Amino acid sequence: MVETLIEDVYARKVYDSRGNPTIEVEVATTEGFGRASTPAGASTGIHEVVPFPKGGIDEAVKLVNEVIAQRIVGMDAADQVAVDGLLHEIDGTNNFSKIGGATALAISIAVAKAAASSFDMPLFQYIGGAFATEIPYPLGNVIGGGKHAGDRAPNIQEFLIIPVGAKSYAEAIEVCFKVHREAGKAIRSIDGSFAGGRGDEGAWAANISDEDALNALSKACDKVQSETGCKVVLGIDMAASSMWNSEKKVYVLRREGKVRSQDEQLNYVIEIAEKYDLRYIEDPVHEEDFEGFSRLVKSIGHKTLICGDDLFTTNASRIRRGLELRAANALIIKPNQVGTLSDAYEAVKTAKRGGLMPVMSHRSGETEDNFISHLAVGFRCPLIKTGILGGERVLKHNELIRIEEALENVKSMAELPSQLTR
Ligand code: PEP
Ligand code: MG
């Protein structure tokens, strides 16, 4: 047990992929070391934990170095539940508003990494054990809009693909890159003035409508599918909470200067799911509309995954409510929405028990940390959503290529639900 004794905890301010400050924490044990940094969202859910204390990052860094570190030094890094429990105890609120959820997560992940390193194990294996051998499929982001791109970009936040026919992560991500390239060409044929701009996650940010984007995506997928022989299916993240005007109770189509009623939004989702054979739809309606989610599961859930992101915010009690109402058949796991590794695991367990498929996810403002690549395998999530291009996205893809290489003969691709394989 001595090798996992925590000897030092240190925090500093670093920067994310949008150039915004965030927190990085280092944890040293007798025989190991872990470093972690927390990403940040742009289309954040209202039920997410508060990322930083009132005084911002500088206060968070000070809090870790002057208060929290001394409470954690001397603990066992292999006792993740105890460390995460102590973070809750020190904070004392139910949304990490005192120390910040970003602060808590950087500590929590750095502790897990330090423990893994003390045992000379990769993080995914430390977390998942001997049976963590399934490789997730990438949920590649090809065209971007909403809060991840400029005002003239599509209303829908993400136009996604899943290369379900791939036999490895390496093949899957290569197919994603090919579709991304082809989609760029398809966009250029729609908008001759397209200069090749990309949004926060590397997806194309173009002055085109939602329908144009869906058409460009379909065209690119058809081409790559026939060239490679790898089946690719389509999805979207509507990120509908970002479109929702809670006072007027309408969805605002910023690009067109129009609005949609709640019924119109549901009908629109059903219509495009049918027209473009969408197999995955994330946050089709806003984050408080459990009923709207349920209606969609009832009408198209047999052929399309209805995935809750802002709806659940990786929060086990919201997931339980969703299960009672049959509000989704998949969910996004974003550890920084909830603040500790143990809380994220609780969300995964609750979801799986209720038959929801977990999707491990990045944030639009990412860091150089690759922990989600390991959590996707360790928590056995069949999909990982980690954007497409840009160093902070590609490093997560590359880590999964290394993980599948490390698993060599024992690995298999994750089992996908019928909505994706039909
Ligand atoms: C998302 O909505 O799935 C997402 C990654 O966005 P953000 O990180 O901006 O909340
Ligand atoms: Mg989302």
* pLDDT the model gives residue 279: 98
Percentage of the chain beyond pLDDT 70 is 100
Average pLDDT of the segment spanning 5-24: 98
* pLDDT the model gives residue 296: 98
For the cut 70, the answer to whether the pLDDT of residue 120 exceeds it is: yes
For the cut 70, the answer to whether the pLDDT of residue 52 exceeds it is: yes
Q: Do the strands 233-237 and 158-162 form a parallel or antiparallel pair, or are they unpaired?
A: antiparallel
Task: Choose the residue to mutate in 334, 337, 383, 385 for probing ligand 1, maximizing ligand atoms within 8 Å of C-beta.
Answer: 334
* pLDDT the model gives residue 99: 98
Average pLDDT of the segment spanning 331-347: 98
Ligand 1 and 237: CB distance under 6 A: yes
Catalytic annotation, pick one of 201, 282, 346, 366: 201
Please indicate whether residue 274 is annotated as part of the active site. no
Ligand 1 and 364: CB distance under 6 A: yes
For the cut 80, the answer to whether the pLDDT of residue 2 exceeds it is: no
Percentage of the chain beyond pLDDT 90 is 99
For the cut 80, the answer to whether the pLDDT of residue 356 exceeds it is: yes
CB within 8 Å of 272: residues ≥ 6 apart: 210, 214, 236, 278
Nearest CA to ligand 1 atom 5: 363
Long-range pairs for 255-261 at CB < 8 Å and ≥24 separation? 255/151, 255/152, 255/153, 255/154, 255/155, 255/209, 255/210, 256/155, 256/209
Ligand 1 and 397: CB distance under 6 A: no
Dihedral sign, Cα of residue 38, residue 203, residue 403, residue 357? positive
Residue 171 near residue 230, CB atoms below 8 Å? yes
Average pLDDT of the segment spanning 170-194: 97
Write out the two tokens for 342. Answer: 């143990």
Task: Choose the residue to mutate in 236, 237, 313, 392 for probing ligand 1, maximizing ligand atoms within 8 Å of C-beta.
Answer: 237
Average pLDDT of the segment spanning 192-203: 96
| Dihedral over alpha carbons 206, 211, 215, 221 (to 10 degrees) | 80
Ligand 1 and 363: CB distance under 6 A: yes
Catalytic annotation, pick one of 113, 147, 334, 396: 334
Write out the two tokens for 420. Answer: 């994706």
Task: Tell me the DSSP string of 184-197.
Answer: HHHHHHH-TT----
Ligand 1 and 386: CB distance under 6 A: no
Task: Choose the residue to mutate in 281, 331, 364 for probing ligand 1, maximizing ligand atoms within 8 Å of C-beta.
Answer: 364
pLDDT in tens, 242-290: 999 999 999 999 999 999 999 999 999 999 999 999 999 999 999 999 9
What span, in angstroms and rounded, lies between the C-alpha atoms of 52 and 76? 26
* pLDDT the model gives residue 1: 56
Strand 33-37: give its sheet, edge to edge. 6-15, 21-29, 33-37
**Residue whose tokens read 């993740």:** 80
- Tell me which residue of 165, 163, 167 sits closest to 180, measured CA to CA: 163
Please indicate whether residue 201 is annotated as part of the active site. yes
Ligand 1 and 42: CB distance under 6 A: yes
pLDDT in tens, 294-332: 999 999 999 999 999 999 999 999 999 999 999 999 999
